Structure 1
């Protein structure tokens, strides 16, 4: 799957896009574009990658992303069977879609500051996400000037909301390089597709067209974690879902998540979750 600079479709009826996606799973590759993007997840779960941030997503996940910030949502393996569904609402707009100086006028000060902060990506607290979900679903029903006014009202609401959190680290350098995106995407796809089996850093490095030492440096610089840490995060995330959703034994879950021995599984699980697998299961 090749990562590309995405061209956002525009129509004669609108200067920005509001689209709803209903899919078996999210499988778009790591990509970037020159527009701002506000994405709300209505159904589905998996990993959200934005810049050097890699976190779990679930229904209610909301992110405001700035231009040229690499991102994608990758559904968990359980969505591959076609029995589950994923759904999102995505709003995309250019920074000058209302004119080059529109966001410079005094009345737009709060929104301008919001968009400046969004260049590293922003996430929001639960109360804000719930209200934003209601507003975004309403936006789908509107058109013309009413839709535009509602978008500005939504951005103003987000600008004044508490608990905004930066997604990508302050040290993350934005890049608009399709080859760089393709490198990270090919490695992530390899891990997502193979984490239940043997995953080797040698093969990951070859996918990135780098030597192993160069790959280790490159991957940690881009993701703020070592390659082995990333693999363990994906495996432990899968184990957590199996502990919550199935009655399989701890040993079965260990091997189903790609670990080769139970002691290593228990150690890695406690490193990331700060409790044992059995204690984790008892919470549910």
Structure 2
């Protein structure tokens, strides 16, 4: 997986992209693009990466991303594999897709402010999410002007809601040069691909083209985490997915997630989540089954 600049294209006669996907797994790598992106996960669960933030996602996850935020959705393994294990509706649009001065209209001030908030990535929750999800589904059956109106209605509803949460405000406040942006993507792409392996500080420093000391300072400045903390976070998130979605023994999950021994795994897991891996699994097994759509 290589972080890259993605050129988002639209079908002829359209000013923004509106697509649905049904795949065995999401295949977009850690990437970025100048378009804003509104993504509704219809089916799937796993890890969502936005900027330097890692979080669990599941069906119903709805996120608005501002321009040039590196991101990807990593599926948890599904056993047995399913051809439609990953389903999503995705809308791509430029901030000025309706014209450079359009958002300066007083009636669109809320949407303009929404785009500013989305620079940090925005998680949409509660009733707002449910209403927005239904609108996004209905938009799949529209074309032309009705779909354009629906997009503005969708964005306006999110803009007026208090049921939103910024995902990585700190990352959005970093003013990174193109060189530093590329360096960060290179580092995080390597982490995404290799967190289950034995990664050394020297190895990461070489990838970043920095000395080990300079790399530690750089990583902490961008993410507010030490490299070891970030690596542990990736491993814990992966272990959580396996505990909740498989019957694999804890010892097997420990090593499959990149931890060297079970005692250390149990210690770090409890420090991060306040419960042991077995307690986490027992809790998730007790949850009622829910439909794949919110």
**TM-score scaled to structure 1, two decimals?**
0.89
Q: In the superposition, relative to structure 1, how do residues 183 and 47 fare at CA in structure 2: closer, same or farther (>3 Å)?
A: farther
Distance 1:26 1:205 in 2: 29
Quote the residue 2:103 is aligned against: 103
Contact 1:41 1:89 (8 Å CA) reproduced:
yes
Deviation track 1:217-264 (CA, whole Å, cap 9, x = no partner) reads 222222221221122112222222232233333333322322222221
Quote the residue 1:250 is aligned against: 250
Q: Give the secondary structure class of the aligned counterpart of 2:6.
A: coil
Distance 1:49 1:193 in 2: 13
Quote the residue 1:39 is aligned against: 39
Listed as ranges, the matches of 1:1-284 within 5 Å are 1-76=1-76, 78=77, 83=82, 85-170=85-170, 172-175=173-176, 177=178, 179-283=179-283, 284=285
More displaced 10-residue stretch of structure 1: 144-153 or 166-175: 166-175
Contact 1:30 1:182 (8 Å CA) reproduced:
no
Q: In the superposition, relative to structure 1, how do residues 9 and 129 fare at CA in structure 2: closer, same or farther (>3 Å)?
A: same
Superposed displacement of residue 65, structure 1: 1.5
Q: Give the secondary structure class of the aligned counterpart of 2:5.
A: coil
Superposed displacement of residue 170, structure 1: 4.2
Deviation track 1:1-52 (CA, whole Å, cap 9, x = no partner) reads 4433322213431111111122222232333222221111122222222223
Contact 2:46 2:241 (8 Å CA) reproduced:
no
Q: In the superposition, relative to structure 1, how do residues 107 and 60 fare at CA in structure 2: closer, same or farther (>3 Å)?
A: same
Q: Give the secondary structure class of the aligned counterpart of 1:63.
A: strand
Superposed displacement of residue 152, structure 1: 0.8
Q: In the superposition, relative to structure 1, how do residues 243 and 46 fare at CA in structure 2: closer, same or farther (>3 Å)?
A: closer
More displaced 10-residue stretch of structure 1: 224-233 or 192-201: 192-201
User: Please, which runs of 5 or more residues in structure 2 have no aligned partner?
Assistant: 286-294
Superposed displacement of residue 200, structure 1: 2.0
Contact 1:68 1:174 (8 Å CA) reproduced:
no
Contact 2:126 2:163 (8 Å CA) reproduced:
no
Q: What RMSD in Å do the two structures reach over aligned CA positions?
A: 2.4
Alignment: residue pair count: 282
More displaced 10-residue stretch of structure 1: 270-279 or 81-90: 81-90
User: Please, which runs of 5 or more residues in structure 1 have no aligned partner?
Assistant: none
Contact 1:36 1:95 (8 Å CA) reproduced:
yes
Q: In the superposition, relative to structure 1, how do residues 170 and 243 fare at CA in structure 2: closer, same or farther (>3 Å)?
A: closer
Deviation track 1:68-91 (CA, whole Å, cap 9, x = no partner) reads 222222333x26995462122111
Distance 2:244 2:217 in 1: 35
